Structure 1
């Protein structure tokens, strides 16, 4: 290879490295965005779980009241 061909090859290699670096930066941005979305999703799921726990407590209370009422009605009859 001549010096000019070596220089052209080196230029091509540098261009390829720049392209790969650009792709790596893009992938890094995508990963960071995904991590952020997962944090938001986890927070939302935490809120849903809290709401479900509150609903379960209300259902349990309602069930307890109904059961007590049924017992009282059975005793009265």
Structure 2
């Protein structure tokens, strides 16, 4: 990514934060939002449109950041 490894590191870090705070580990679906103050997902609302976007974007993201194949699996499964 623009020959700047720190951008790749930050992108992976942000992705993992989203996985940690927005993904429902029971269903695999993603919540619509997260409150750091209250440490909750508001009404526990799953985000239908966002979940469909994620099924398209996650594989593209992993390809774009150009991680080795074994690291890609680690990025996905480390927080699930």
Question: TM class by shorter-chain length?
Answer: under 0.3
> Which structure carries more relative contact order (alpha carbon 8 Å, separation 6+)?
2
Using structure 2 for the length normalisation, give the TM-score: 0.27
TM-score (norm 1): 0.28
Structure showing greater radius of gyration is 1
